[in-house]
Amino acid sequence: MQWRIVVTRSIPEAALEELRSVGEVHVCEQDRPLRAEELHEAVRGAHAIVSMVHDRIDGAVVDAAGPQLRVVANVAVGYDNVDVDALAQRDIAVTNTPGVLADATADLAFGLLLMLTRRLGEGERLLRSRTPWSWHMSFMLGTGLQGKTLGVVGLGRIGQAVAHRARAFGMEITYTGRNRVDPDVETALGARYVSLEQLLDEADAVSLHCPLTEATRHLVDETALERMKSSAVLVNTSRGPVVDEQALARALGRRSIAGAALDVFEHEPTVQPDLLDLDNVVVVPHLGSATTETRTAMAVLAARNVTGVLAGAGAHTPIGA
């Protein structure tokens, strides 16, 4: 049988070669997020769909594809864009790409933390605006990280990678999540498990690495922000809706927290306009996994999930397994 494989947006050639080894590959011509009707049309007759984080994959997409659909391979760790239950009811395999992007995302998260605490974004904007300046002892002072506490919300692969980097900078680690991690991981990181409320009370920097679920939507809301120290900063490289951006903008505007750095946004790609007017905010356009090596590895893993399922061998990284 000649399998029809639909890729919703361009991916690296190495992944396309993997897919071509088992079937006919159709890459959507529009190199942008597809509208629902465009996505439904594109997947008609597909045996496999390689989807991106901005694609909403639900029962309607499955119905548009047809009963021959066998696998949806999401090129991301998070899969809040996929209705996993709806696909499971139709016996369709769903996969993601865990593991391969932990270091890249952790590098970015820690880079964002440094941009905040050392005011690097502000400094670059000052020079690019050609504003006159001169060095003096109190010029653009930031804060150091040594001896400070990093609170990690979600100590999975990415959260652990961030904690390792923080330890190298002399930080103490607290963490929270649905469950405690392995005691050996706690020991290696010197990490303390605390409640979310205690983490927010104590942390000098809060870094978000939890999945987006109904339980974590607006996890960081006005109440959570009010618990944070006025000197504390927030970093989000997980999913935008984990943070209530309107509440965050208000907190930053009145300096009830010192700053925030965001790689993801509640209504991506739109950014809350009030955030863009504040100097104590760093914003970057969803760059967590944006290295050539990582994005290639993600796409290749997604492709191997497709070829594994279509060959009858099963997926390498199935969701819900």
Note the pLDDT tens digit of each residue in 237-296: 999 999 999 999 999 999 999 999 999 999 999 999 999 999 999 999 999 999 999 999
Q: Residue 16: what are its φ and ψ, rounded to 5°?
A: -65, -40
Span 166-189, pLDDT tens digits: 999 999 999 999 999 999 999 999
Annotated catalytic residue, options 54, 192, 286, 316: 286
Outline which parts of the chain fall under CATH 3.40.50.720.
3-98+292-310, 102-283
Mean pLDDT of 192-218: 97
Contact 82, 101 (CB under 8 A): no
CATH class given for the domain over 3-98+292-310: alpha beta
Return d(Cα 316, Cα 307) in angstroms, integer: 10
Q: Is the pLDDT of residue 321 over 80?
A: no
Asked if 186 is an active-site residue, the reply is no
Return d(Cα 105, Cα 98) in angstroms, integer: 12
User: CA torsion sign, 261 to 10 to 33 to 78?
Assistant: negative
Span 14-24, pLDDT tens digits: 999 999 999 99
Task: Count the neighbouring beta carbons within 10 Å of the beta carbon of residue 245.
Answer: 23
Span 233-248, pLDDT tens digits: 999 999 999 999 999 9
Task: Count the neighbouring beta carbons within 10 Å of the beta carbon of residue 284.
Answer: 17
Q: Is the pLDDT of residue 106 over 80?
A: yes
Asked if 239 is an active-site residue, the reply is yes
Annotated catalytic residue, options 239, 245, 266, 304: 239
Instruction: Give the CA dihedral 316, 300, 84, 161, nearest 10 degrees.
Output: 80
pLDDT of residue 207: 98
Nearest to 303 by CA among 107, 23, 64: 23
User: CA torsion sign, 289 to 295 to 301 to 303?
Assistant: positive
Helix (H) or strand (E) holding 7: strand 3-7
pLDDT of residue 320: 72
Nearest to 173 by CA among 132, 301, 155, 213: 155
Two tokens at 225? 């922000």
Distances (CA, A) of 4 to 46, 53, 314: 5, 21, 18
User: How much of the chain exceeds pLDDT 90, in percent?
Assistant: 98
pLDDT of residue 3: 97
Annotated catalytic residue, options 38, 122, 186, 268: 268
Span 132-168, pLDDT tens digits: 999 999 999 999 999 999 999 999 999 999 999 999 9
Q: What is the pTM of this model?
A: 0.94
pLDDT of residue 65: 98
Distances (CA, A) of 112 to 27, 45, 116, 143, 195: 34, 43, 6, 14, 25
Mean pLDDT over all residues of the chain? 97
How many helices, marked H, and strands, marked E, lie in the chain?
Answer: 13, 12
Asked if 70 is an active-site residue, the reply is no
CATH class given for the domain over 102-283: alpha beta
